[in-house]
Amino acid sequence: MTAIDPVTLAVLKGRLEQIADEMDATLYRSAFNPIIAEARDACHGLYHAQTGATLVQGTKGLPIFVGAMAFAVKAVIDKVAREGNLQPGDTFLFNDPYDGGTHLNDFRLVRPIFRGGTLYCWLASVGHWLDIGGNVPGGFNARATESFQEGVRFPPVKLFAAGVMNQDIIDILAANSRVPVSNYGDLNGQLNALDLGERRLAELLDAYGDAVVAGAFEAFSDRAEAMMRAAVRALPDGTYAFEDYLDNDGITAGRLTIALDLTIAGDTMVLDFSRSSAPCAGPLNIAYSTAAACCYVALKHVFTDVPANAGCLRPITFVIPETTLLGVKAPKPVGGYTETILRVIGVVLGALAQADPARATAAPFGTINALSLAGHRADGTRWVMFSFFGGGLGGNPETDGLSHANNPISMATIPPAEILEAAYPVMFSQWALRPDSAGAGAHRGGFGAVYEIEALTDADVFLLGERGLYPPFGVAGGGPAALNVFSWESEDGERSPPLASKVTDVKIKAGQHVRLETPGGGGYGDPRERRLEDVVRDVRQGLVSPDAARMAYGVALAADGTPDAATTRALRQGAAA
């Protein structure tokens, strides 16, 4: 490889990332579905011609997708190796969660880029489509026991062959969705993003030359590898174990364990999940590619300076057996993958915190709370609303956790109430921070939220969530956060799910409400070491109750809200007040 000067490398890095960013923006602005258009549940990237490895990702796309897309592109490469006939203008479509996917709603488009008749690299796009069939509108079927109950599954197929679209595939997609117009709009947004990316990449290659850009790809990966090895080498050798739990699989009440043994030896790291629970009956399973992708996300949260490409994973070995719920094959259901990957990310962060306590961060709220409402409008047309919701992030050595944030799997945002109300016959009667939901600590967790939604038509309700039984944990003496709570109105009064965080087939009438109270983040450090003025401020703002200030933080307040110095001193010293 010809050496490339540092200035040119920096320019090429920025130009290539800009291509992926512009592809992201194109899809966000053209998608029909608010989960893409507003929440940004999508991503784009450039991938290696022979291996499918990640070369470049944007700064706005969903990181979990970026990690999984390398496996997706490899699935297309393997198909081409078997069948041949790859041509310029081909575009592959698929959503297979066991072959480089995540769950059935996430549709991938993969396109080869040729230069001078030779395959140069791949462009890929992925976005969450609103509904792709299955037993439950929106696809999050908490009672699914096989993937056939979650939606239609596509292996890699040619949507375009030499630039000619296969209309039969479009027709099959439309026939298997409750909202085909929404999916068609999202599909065209992804195709437009690929078209733009192809044009921008051609302009860059024409300006700098194919060999120079290829050399830059190699240099970026080598640099990421070197930086990751240096980061791992700075940690003490040893094996660090950590585990956390999922409430249940949606079918039975037994908890599921996500267990990690993380071994550091020199500049290499092994992530061994062999002690995790066996594949479960319900939809909390994930495939190997998904498990590896969320480990990538966790490592990027810790080693923030390491560039985001395949090179950063070269020092990492994954042990993810098929005998666990983290490495399943078809047709095991995987629709609730979002909940499981959050727990995987959490145990990676927990194990790394043991290796380096200075990096310890308490658990985030740890559930996307996949809530779907569906019904028919007055004119008879079908509507399906799916959204995810925010909560608190964990306290850390430097600061309190963020309140009403999104989970650490993504750059996604929480869809605004105004957008959801405009798109669907619903009205939010409450959207607020949830008092006393944060884990107590010297640096407390962030606060969760309260969402109350009124249905303006009769509606079916489905929830696939977590943290209803096992709260987000604190670290370094910090306390756990509040549990997840879901309820709905019925003719018999307020009801809640028998399995705490998952429910299907709930029916509500127009004018009735559902209510979701999300967890906060865990706390960091001894709560009685929290600064007095910070506790007083939280109480004054209505985020912490006077009782919680006294019990959790050892802070007694007078009737006017000012600290009772003597009682507080006694409480914090552990004496009877």
Q: Could you tell me if residue 327 is inside a domain? A: no
**Helix (H) and strand (E) counts for the chain?**
12, 20
* Exposure class string for 152-169: b at 16+ Cβ within 10 A, else e: bbbebebbbeeeeeeeeb
Q: Which residue range forms the structural domain that includes residue 545?
A: 532-572
Final residue in a domain of this structure, among 225, 240, 260: 225
- The 3-state DSSP class for residue 98 equals coil
Integer CA distances (angstroms), 396 to 301, 485, 522, 526, in order: 13, 25, 9, 12
For residues 567 and 577, is the Cβ–Cβ distance under 8 A? yes
Taking the C-alpha atoms of 159, 119, 70 and 464 in order, what is their torsion angle to the nearest 10 degrees? -10
Residues 388 and 522 grouped into a single domain: yes
Chosen domain end from 205, 225, 245: 225
The predicted structure's pLDDT at residue 403: 97
Are 485 and 557 within one domain?
Answer: no
Is 283 inside a domain boundary? no
Q: How far is CA 339 from the centre of its chain?
A: 8
Q: Assess whether 509 and 536 both reside in one domain.
A: no
Strand intervals (E) in 472-559: 485-490, 493-495, 502-508, 513-517
Q: Is residue 275 part of a domain?
A: no
Contact 45, 109 (CB under 8 A): no
**Low-confidence stretches of the chain (pLDDT beneath 50):** 575-577
Same domain, 484 and 545: no
Under 8 Å between Cβ of 400 and 444: yes
User: Is there a contact between 130 and 107 (Cβ–Cβ < 8 Å)?
Assistant: no
pTM: 0.93
**Measured between alpha carbons, how far is 107 from 102 in angstroms, rounded to an integer?**
9
- Predicted pLDDT at 348: 94
Whether 169 and 36 share a structural domain: yes
- Do 190 and 49 reside in the same domain of the chain? yes
Distances (CA, A) of 308 to 19, 64, 485: 15, 12, 36
Domain's final residue, options 225, 256, 286: 225
Number of domains observed in the structure of the chain: 3
Tokens encoding 84: 């041949």
**407 and 555, same structural domain?**
no
**Residue 300 within a domain:** no
Do 468 and 515 lie in one domain? The reply is: yes
CA gap 86, 118 in Å, rounded:
10
Is residue 348 included in any domain, yes or no?
no
Both 547 and 495 in a single domain? no
Asked if the peptide bond before residue 63 counts as cis, ω within 30 degrees of 0, the response is no
Residues 429, 550, single domain; the answer is no
- Do residue 446 and residue 543 come from a single domain? no
User: 140 and 92, same structural domain?
Assistant: yes
The pLDDT of residue 410: 65
Phi and psi at residue 24, to the nearest 5°: -55, -50
> Would 333 be classed as within a structural domain?
no
Q: Does some domain include residue 133?
A: yes
What does the pLDDT look like over 487-518, one tens digit per residue? 999 998 999 999 999 999 899 999 999 999 99
